[in-house]
Chain A
Amino acid sequence: MRRRTGLVFVAPALALFAVFVLYPMVTAFSYAFFHWQGTSRGGFAGVENFATLFTRAPFTTDLPQALLHNVLFFVGTMLIQNTFGLTIAYLLYSRPRSRRVLQTLYAMPYLVSPIVIGYLWTLLLSPTFGPVNTLLTRIGLDSWALPWLGDPKTALWVVILVSVWQWIGFPVLLYGAALGGVPEELTEAARVDGATNRQAFFKITLPLLVPAIGTVSVLTFIFAMEAFALPYAFGGSTGNPAGSTDFVSLLFYRTAFDSGATDAIGSSSALATLLFLIIFGGAYAATSVLRRHERRITA
């Protein structure tokens, strides 16, 4: 009876979810398996659209490059954002009086749209009129006044660092909450036994934070693999300059909406499906590893 009542309450949300998410999702999956002429569906294509992604230009060159950039974006974001995020969260945790204000300040940039952030930083980093290069030149660091977004060697790093700048508040909040869940008596007991602060952090707090780090890592992975707005604001749909900030989502956008190809829906659906599988597969693998780790430390 209680189960049935519960279902009644869940039904409206479930219906909306089914109509607006599940149904379009399943139909869109199916598009990848058909031939297309514009928006008219043709015959069954099997895995032909998927084969196209690995055999036909521009996918043969653009897809591996874009995927590599997604992976580099993930690795860069993981290392920088999460390291700094954890450090800041730990420092804030030991300063309860200023914690709330600083947490809010760190979280503020992610309240702004990534498109706005991208355009803002594009203006700041402009080699022609940007204040960053003007400042560097004025203080005698001319050699540092680089075309930040115009050189493939620096452009991807700019995307990573600005993304870190925007989203650093997110791991700060999550790690802050996780730190609050670490039982204080454990670290106190360790200190009574003679452990230093450093030992207490690395031997007790950090191992207990691993599940939270794992959760943040998986969310960062999802975020990095589907990155679109910030790279689009920085390098347009083609990942300027010379494809150095190209991402899989940008390639999907170009294929679906910018190309003159009449079979764009088929190949772009196949690309979207592939990206879905990568994201889901990666997230599933990572959570499995996490689960094993949790079992070990809770055993």
Chain B
Amino acid sequence: MTFDSRPPGSSRRARRTVLTIAALSGALLVTACSPSSSGSTGAGAGGDGKVTLTVWSWRVEDEAAYKKIFDTYEKAHPTVNVDFKAFKATEYNKILATGLAGSSGPDVPQVRSYGQLQGTVASKSLLPLDGKVDLSGWDENVVASAKGKEDGKTYSVPLARQTVQMFYNQGLFDKFGITAPTTWEQFIAGNDKLMAAGVTPIAVGAKDDWTLPIVHEVLAGSRFGGKAFQPEVLAGKKSFTDPDWVASVKVVGDLEKYMPKNVTGVAQTDAQTLFSAEKAAMIPGGSFDLSVLQKANPGMKIGIFQVPPAPGSPSGSSATTAGWADGNFAVSARSKHPNEATELVKWMTSKEFGQMVNDDIKQISAVPGVEPTDPLLKQMSDNYTNSGSPYLLLTDFRYGAPSGTDLLGKGLQQMLLGSKDATGVSQDLDTGVKAWFKPSA
């Protein structure tokens, strides 16, 4: 059979179009890698003789608070204007990398902490602040968030300390005659009582893998030894296949029966809704979750506690609050006003700034000696000061890929899905981080 007309959709032009689309779609992905061209930061002196400092942040929700804070700074420094710009958190890393390499970047960028700061440091995008800001007397774990791993120099000023702990609904606890537990037996008895009453004891959003290392820290931080485990694993004396670490991973699996049904299908927002709707009595979470939970149900009285050590915890191990620092501010190496920018970040080490971080941004300031006014934030801060430990996988195992938090998040999901046991999860974590981690010893 022959046809005179060309079959539909068969023209050469159509084929060329398809190939062009193929080329361009791949090209667009390739282009996504492209840092912008070089230049210098656009901030400058205005017509009024004032110096304008551009500050970038990923905290869109705190824009009003930051403007209030920088108004205070401008009053004390009449020759300086602070232009605060906030970007969507999920886009911020890309925007900042481009901004710092290009011509229109910030003078004072908010930068990531610990491992995620290292790419920015390696680009030589930030000015070292040693000798310019004084972080002596600050928590060692907090200061580590601001340093370059290779050269040990300080590149930023930590803004806030984040802590993780168990939030609980005080009304539900009272209703069922439960008090914040101080022993593991009390903790389990409380869970059993809630479950028997048809209340989900612990809301967990295991669909979002990033939440699971936090859940592990809250439920089992003391089971692997908390603070004492850090120097051992960093020195190579212990690894993530250590029996105490493996047992701590197993604790999460053992407590799955107290979590929502089909927990790997439950998103973190669903878990928070379960808690706010008073269908779940507890939720492991960070200090950054407090305002979210308070706003979701203003009538609910929220308490916090440290989960007591599980049976078999290393001797001397006690309930702990894991923490880390984030929201750090730095000075761009391309800033046209490095002195004024440095002066601004130096002010961020003051108690005046720290108090505003507590009161206006509602975070636990990293500045030592500054007390949060919110009673729960104060309790979190005190818990960290008295019995704190580093959120190990974030503070020390995010300096390479795959990161410790990614590996444990995925591994815990596999354990909750039944495809791996605690030993397998711990082994994968150990093997994964060894791709880049070298013990200090």
Contact = CB atoms under 8 A, between A and B. Distances in A.
Interface in B238-270: 260-267, 270
A177 B8 contact: yes
A150 B266 contact: yes
A145 B354 CA distance: 49
Contact of A240 (B7, B15, B119, B413): B413
A218 B120 contact: no
Nearest to B274: A128
A57 to B, nearest CB: 4
Interface stretch (B67-75, B92-100, B137-145, B355-363): B92-100
A272 to B, nearest CB: 4
A269 interface: yes
B94 A257 contact: yes
Contacts of A210: 7
Chain A interface, DSSP helix/strand/loop, else mixed: helix
B297 to A, nearest CB: 15
Nearest to A22: B27
A291 B34 CA distance: 35
A259 B403 contact: yes
Interface string A277-291: 101101110010011
A298 B7 contact: yes
Contacts of B29: 226, 249, 252, 272, 275-276
Q: Mostly helix, strand, loop or mixed at chain B's interface?
A: helix
B17 to A, nearest CB: 9
A162 to B, nearest CB: 15
B406 interface: yes
Interface string A222-241: 10001000000000101011
B402 interface: yes
Nearest to B27: A25
Contacts of A262: 118-119, 122
A197 B399 CA distance: 65
B166 to A, nearest CB: 20
Given A58-B402, A276-B29, A242 B21 contact: no
Given A242-B413, A260-B403, A261-B400, A226 B267 contact: no
A57 B402 CA distance: 7
B24 interface: yes
B101 interface: yes
Contacts of B97: 38-39, 257
A282 B19 CA distance: 10
Interface bracket on A: 35 or more
Interface string A169-185: 00000100111111100
Contacts of B432: 57-58
8 contacts: A29-B30, A57-B401, A212-B7, A226-B25, A238-B410, A241-B413, A283-B22, A294-B7
Given A240-B207, A279-B26, 11 more contacts: A25-B27, A38-B119, A38-B125, A128-B265, A128-B266, A150-B266, A222-B21, A238-B209, A260-B114, A261-B119, A262-B122
Interface of A: 21, 24-25, 27-29, 31, 37-40, 56-58, 62, 122, 126-129, 146-152, 174, 177-183, 208-212, 214-215, 218-219, 222, 226, 236, 238, 240-243, 249, 252, 254-262, 264-265, 268-269, 272-273, 275-277, 279-280, 282-284, 287, 290-291, 294, 297-299
Interface of B: 2-3, 5-10, 14-15, 18-19, 21-27, 29-35, 93-94, 97, 100-101, 114-116, 118-125, 206-210, 260-267, 270, 273-274, 398-403, 406, 409-410, 413-414, 417, 419, 431-432, 435-436
